[in-house]
């Protein structure tokens, strides 16, 4: 059911679906045995890539993945994890600094029960930390055999290019992949992020192809209950009274009708759309239950017709993210008004060339 695609220019090939482990642990499904069953089912169906992060359920997700791969399955899995977000209550246990990275990787290796990580990713940019500091630490980890490749997640195109230039000029290992938010409802990365990744030969691993559940088939006009439960935690993304989310709901109804006409589930339509982009290496699916996984596996063998793709473009135009809150990251230049007013912080890191 699963095909295998080149992971950038590394020579590695991974499955067109990656099993995302964000929903394993207290944040989603706290049953370790259930999580292990889901992982084993995915591997049995041909998925050979798993993506997690140290911040997911404060490391519990990594522990579940480590349990599932113990006993001989580790060698056949392309294992990815991420650093950056705060783990636990200590505010020092976060970031993209060398000091934290060398500690974070040891913690992840221990939880994952492995001697190496195939893809170690910066989960988000950190503008106050020199990117060369981050790449220098990651390069050392490659040379120590603790990680194989470097990746980023939700980086802006300028930061992606900066990383390539730093690697070339400073003799660092280069970033080989980017993990952007990408779905029918969040197509903003089509403008620059994906073309830049293509230009530099990066693998593209989209997260949230179901748009945080909006494209799961559970949400439609007149059925507010599932949305309301999430709206309390993430109102900017799920409160149906906000115009941007109302626009998503309208688009979801139109896409559901299109999926029915095409003889597909909305889930298959959504994932197949992401996989249709020639730059995409593997779409990250994040099931919380075995039923969720089963509902998504078949998308890997769906091919959308040109007519269906054209009609999707008419519902959500290329390069359009219906709700800016779904972009996954807002740079300080937008998030903090002080960056746009005289007397605010300098846009240049200390000591940077102007």
Cβ-proximal residues to 261 (8 Å cutoff; 6+ apart), any chain: none
Q: Distance between CA atoms of 306 and 312, rounded to whole angstroms?
A: 10
Q: Which of 4, 56, 200, 329 is catalytic?
A: 56
Helix, coil or strand: residue 15: strand
Q: CB-based burial of residue 36 (10 Å sphere; 0-12 exposed, 13-18 middle, 19+ buried)?
A: middle
* Burial status of residue 338 (CB atoms within 10 A of its CB: 0-12, 13-18, 19 or more): exposed
Element (H, E) at 17: strand 17-20
Cα distance between residue 165 and residue 170, in whole Å: 8
How big is the chain, counted in residues?
354
| R_g of the chain computed on alpha carbons | 20
> H or E stretch including 41?
helix 32-44
Annotation says 56 is catalytic: yes
Per the CB < 8 A criterion, the answer to whether 202 and 227 are in contact is no
Give yes or no for a contact between 293 and 44, defined as CB atoms under 8 angstroms apart.
Answer: no
Q: How many Cβ atoms are within 10 Å of 190's Cβ, its own excluded?
A: 18
Spatial separation of the C-alpha atoms in residues 57 and 22, rounded to whole Å: 8
Residue pair 17/283 in contact (Cβ under 8 Å)? The answer is yes
Residues 194 and 204 sit within 8 Å (Cβ to Cβ) = yes
Q: Put the strands of the sheet holding 117-122 in their side by side order.
A: 203-204, 175-179, 147-153, 117-122, 78-83, 49-51, 17-20, 283-285
CB burial of residue 12 (10 Å; 0-12, 13-18, 19+): buried
Catalytic site positions: 56
């Amino acid at each position: 059911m699963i095909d295998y695609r080149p992971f950038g220019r590394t020579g590695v090939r991974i499955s067109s679906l990656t099993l995302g482990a964000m929903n394993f642990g207290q944040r989603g499904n706290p049953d370790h045995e259930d999580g292990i069953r889901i992982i084993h089912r995915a591997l049995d169906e041909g998925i050979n890539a798993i993506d997690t992060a140290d911040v997911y359920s404060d490391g519990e997700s990594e522990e579940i993945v480590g349990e599932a791969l113990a006993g001989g399955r580790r060698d056949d899995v392309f294992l990815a994890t991420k650093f950056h977000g705060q783990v636990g209550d200590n505010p020092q246990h976060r970031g993209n600094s060398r000091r934290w990275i060398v500690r974070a990787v040891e913690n992840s290796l221990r939880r994952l029960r492995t001697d190496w990580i195939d893809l170690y990713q910066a989960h988000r940019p950190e503008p106050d930390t020199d990117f060369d500091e981050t790449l220098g630490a990651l390069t050392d980890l490659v040379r120590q055999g603790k990680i194989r490749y470097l990746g980023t997640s939700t980086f802006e195109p300028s930061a992606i290019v900066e990383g390539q230039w730093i690697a070339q000029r400073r003799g660092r290992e280069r970033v080989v992949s980017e993990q952007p938010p990408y779905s029918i409802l969040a197509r903003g990365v089509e403008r620059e992020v994906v073309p830049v990744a293509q230009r530099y030969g990066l693998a593209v691993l989209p997260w949230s192809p179901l748009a945080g559940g909006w494209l799961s088939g559970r949400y439609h006009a007149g059925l507010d209950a599932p949305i309301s439960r999430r709206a309390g935690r993430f109102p900017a993304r799920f409160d149906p009274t906000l115009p941007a989310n109302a626009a998503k709901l309208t688009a979801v109804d139109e896409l559901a009708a299109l999926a029915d006409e095409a003889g597909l589930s909305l889930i298959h339509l959504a994932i197949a759309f992401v996989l249709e982009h020639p730059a995409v290496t593997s779409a990250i699916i994040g099931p919380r239950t075995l039923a969720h996984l089963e509902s998504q596996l078949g998308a890997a063998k769906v091919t959308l017709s040109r007519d269906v793709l054209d009609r999707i473009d008419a519902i959500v135009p290329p390069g359009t993210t219906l709700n800016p809150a779904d972009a996954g990251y807002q740079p300080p230049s937008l998030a903090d008004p002080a960056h746009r007013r005289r007397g605010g912080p300098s846009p240049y890191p200390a000591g940077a060339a102007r």
